[in-house]
Amino acid sequence: MTENILKKLNEIHPITSEGRAVFLPLLESVTIEQKEFLIRQGEKAQYVYILLDGAVRVFYNKDGNEYNKTFFVSNTFPTPITALLSNTNCELSFEALLPCKLVRFSYKKFRSLFEEHRCFESLMLRIMENLWIKKERHDIRMVTNDATTNYKIFKEEFPGLENQIPQYHIASYLGITPVQLSRIRAQLIKSRPN
Amino acid sequence: MTENILKKLNEIHPITSEGRAVFLPLLESVTIEQKEFLIRQGEKAQYVYILLDGAVRVFYNKDGNEYNKTFFVSNTFPTPITALLSNTNCELSFEALLPCKLVRFSYKKFRSLFEEHRCFESLMLRIMENLWIKKERHDIRMVTNDATTNYKIFKEEFPGLENQIPQYHIASYLGITPVQLSRIRAQLIKSRPN
DNA sequence: TTAATTTATTAACCTATGTTAATGTACAGT
DNA sequence: ACTGTACATTAACATAGGTTAATAAATTAA
């Protein structure tokens, strides 16, 4: 299981065998129930998470309204990056939408490996770069489209997720109301019955 | 001038004196006229830019429509990061809104310094981290607001820029039409005459 | 300075989406 | 099986923002 994780990291950037040796002991398995939180808005962040199974939503709460920012599915990293990097209180909440199996490790301990094991710093740079690339492409897609198109993109981006979570979470992610999403769905079914 | 740049980079992450020695020769001064491009959508990217004076807009062109994604003002980096990192054709265009003075350097040559001068890899990681933090905070602000609020945020974020560029560029940035921006401005003036 | 061009404002009308509320459906607990 | 709760759909109406077009203002060219 943890070997599997190292293998994936190694594809992003090669990890030395000494690196492996000091990294593996940092890993901890975690499972959480549906509706439990990895972290809540306002808390300090400690951990980097790797999601092995389940789904997580990330949302921002303002004046009692929740705005879903993104979802995480298997083999992604539902991690409060900004809070970890800047060591500030987390501005987002990470909530399990399904029962989740995860692996986590302390970001602080991980960071302390950089000095001696340069491969981890290089790895981190690669990860940030990949994040940036993905985020920019996602933004470009979303900005130029209407809600109907973005709903289709959501279904491509998170295949199958639609049937596992309430529609109002999807609506919030799309920046529309559940009512409007329902109208969009009705219209799609009418025009292209599938 | 170039010493000034090194000083700023040094604040982000310390650069060794050997690092300075190999980095400085990479720098080139560039000036461009209003409406000239640093790079156009579809082109390959080569350079990292540092904007000393002027303003640049970044936009995405889709079906003949332009969507302003962001602006760059003095002392920022109007650089096609994704295109450089992934060595793909640039998905965005960078256009001077005012006459610009810049410094640029080859990303490829910069990258080739990493192996021998670790400080540049660390610097790059810091830059990516800062970018991410800034982007996430910006996104959170924008997502939860209406166009009127975002217009106010734009004025805070880019002080003075409003009076130097056409309003339709601001409207595009806000995701609304120039007509709607004009209505918003009229309403703001009526309610709070300033 | 005048004319031409570009940009901003305003008005009339249209559409997508928000709001509220009623109804329908599905699942969970007893 | 019944009941309650949560969720989705639908309808009626309200509103922000889009579209088009006319006009006004500002900038640029002659």
Residue A189 · residue A101 · CB < 8 Å: no
Residues near A32 by Cβ (< 8 Å), separated by ≥ 6? A38, A96, A99, A100, A102
Q: What is the pLDDT along chain A (194 residues), one digit of tens a residue?
A: 778 899 999 999 999 999 999 999 999 999 999 999 999 999 999 999 999 999 999 999 988 889 999 999 999 999 999 999 999 999 999 999 999 999 999 999 999 999 999 999 999 999 999 999 999 999 998 887 889 999 999 999 999 999 999 999 999 999 999 999 999 999 998 876 44
Model confidence, pTM: 0.93
Give chain A's radius of gyration (CA, Å): 18
pLDDT of residue A192: 60
- Establish, for the pair of chains A and B, how many residue pairs have beta carbons separated by less than 8 Å: 70
Q: Which residues touch strand D (CB under 7 A)?
A: A 166-168, 178-179, 181-183, 185-186; B 146-148, 175-177, 179-180, 184
Contact A122, A13 (CB under 8 A): yes
Query: How many Å lie between the alpha carbon of A42 and the closest alpha carbon of chain B?
Result: 14
> Do A82 and B125 count as a contact with CB atoms less than 8 A apart?
no
Q: What is the pLDDT of residues B64-102, one digit of tens each?
A: 889 999 999 999 999 999 999 999 999 999 999 999 999
Residue of A122 and B143 predicted with greater confidence: A122
Query: Chain-wide mean pLDDT for chain B?
Result: 94
Q: pLDDT value at position B4?
A: 87
pLDDT digits (tens, 9 = 90+) for B121-130: 999 999 999 9
> Which helix (H) or strand (E) covers residue B82, if one does?
helix B81-86
pLDDT value at residue B192: 58
Whether the CB of A179 is less than 7 Å away from nucleic strand C comes out as yes
pLDDT for residue B194:
46
pLDDT above 70 coverage of chain B, percent? 98
pLDDT of B13 higher than 50: yes
What is the Cα Rg of chain B in Å? 18
The domain ranges of chain B are 2-131, 145-194
**pLDDT of B20 above 70:** yes
Q: Kindly state the helix (H) or strand (E) to which residue B101 belongs, with its residue range.
A: strand B100-106
User: Does the CB of B175 have a partner CB in chain A at under 8 Å?
Assistant: yes
Element (H, E) at B154: helix B147-157
Q: Looking at the C1' of nucleotide D17, which residue has the nearest alpha carbon?
A: B180
Average of per-residue pLDDT across B165-192? 92
Q: Under an 8 A CB cutoff, do A67 and B122 touch?
A: no
- The fold of B2-131 is Jelly Rolls (2.60.120)
Closest residue in B to A58 (Cα) is B140
Cβ of residue B64 closer than 8 Å to a chain A Cβ:
no
Enumerate residues 6+ apart whose C-beta is below 8 A from A166.
none
Q: Give the 3-state secondary structure of residue B93.
A: strand
